[in-house]
Amino acid sequence: MSQAELSQAGAAPRSPRPLWSLGLLRSEITMTFRRWRTLALLAVLAGVPVLVGVAVRIETGRGRSGGGGGGEGGPAFISQVTNNGVFLVFTSLAVTLPFFLPMAIGVIAGDSIAGEAHGGTLRYLLVAPAGRTRLLLVKYATTLTFCLVGTLTVALSALATGALLFPLGEVTLLSGTSIPLAEGLLRALAIAGAVALSLVGVAAIGLFLSTLTTSGIAAMATTVGLLITVQILDTLPQLETIQPYLFPHYWLSFADLLRDPVYWDQLAKNFGLQAVYAAVFGTAAWARFTTRDITA
């Protein structure tokens, strides 16, 4: 039988390789969360609420013994932590969002591609076969998973610490309305989700920078440096015209979830801005990675 006849009578043509693989994603997530660096980052994130809670508790004790009072400084919500431990969740997220959480995301995202290239495993992954687009999507999805896990780590650590050190009860919203504890916990979960979504842009920027170099340390340092620079720019009154377009500008809009009714304007702007950054830098990462000469 000729080759043509075999082709007509043989198997169906090979289907295109899918852009998604649950097995590859599961393997990547498992490997990422087994690394000591990832566990150390999560430990630091979990430790911040403990430190904040203990500091507030000590300061409260000093105030009750006449040693100086609780003071009115500090991050938002901190004045209400002593009355309700749930507010430690909101305080801890407000403390970690400007630096600790995005720094951790920058480390994971910056090392995603560059770390594989530096370790000599990137070429193996592409031969596996994973395909460049699929590998990039899996790396980004893994970074987004860390965004959620890191945020929930802060929230759960804060809730546990708040329950141990302070009373729990009805939550008084910023609008003055009191809601049951169960609804307050649901709002805390919604706020954690909003904070995780606020980090989508940073994850895309870190992924893009990771495609530009074979040094994971360089990509991580550049991502964190860019994060610090942009946040400084966001505080300068002379730059107020461009500040609404900077990715951290609406990060603290999650506080609007503690209003009744919820103010959605700033939240919608934040989510829209993160989507734009994800689209722009995700596309740039794809364009760079799919045309890059992989030698390692």
Tell me which H or E stretch contains 39. Answer: helix 36-64
Q: What is the pLDDT of residue 143?
A: 95
User: What are the CA-CA distances from residue 157 to residues 31, 52, 74, 145 (Å)?
Assistant: 24, 11, 19, 18
pLDDT by residue for the chain (296 residues), tens only, comes to 444 444 444 444 444 555 556 777 888 899 999 999 999 999 999 999 999 999 988 877 665 544 444 444 445 567 788 888 999 999 999 999 989 999 999 999 988 888 877 776 676 666 655 578 888 999 999 999 999 999 999 999 999 999 999 999 888 888 888 899 999 999 999 999 999 999 999 999 999 999 988 888 888 899 989 999 999 999 999 999 999 999 999 999 999 999 989 899 999 999 999 999 999 999 999 999 888 766 55
Q: Which amino acid is it at 11?
A: A
CA distance 291 to 214: 15
Long-range contacts of 117-126 (CB under 8 A, 24+ apart): 117/213, 117/214, 117/294, 117/296, 118/214, 118/215, 118/216, 118/296, 120/296, 122/294, 122/296, 123/294, 123/295, 123/296, 126/294
Q: CA 292 to CA 146: how far, in whole Å?
A: 26
Q: Which of 43, 44, 76, 79 is nearest to 60 (CA)?
A: 79
* 242 HSE (CA, 13 A, CB side): 9
Q: Are 93 and 195 in contact (CB under 8 A)?
A: yes
Q: How many residues does the chain have?
A: 296
Q: C-alpha distances in angstroms, 291 versus 6, 92, 102, 223?
A: 36, 42, 28, 22
- Alpha-helix runs per DSSP H in 166-215: 181-198, 200-210
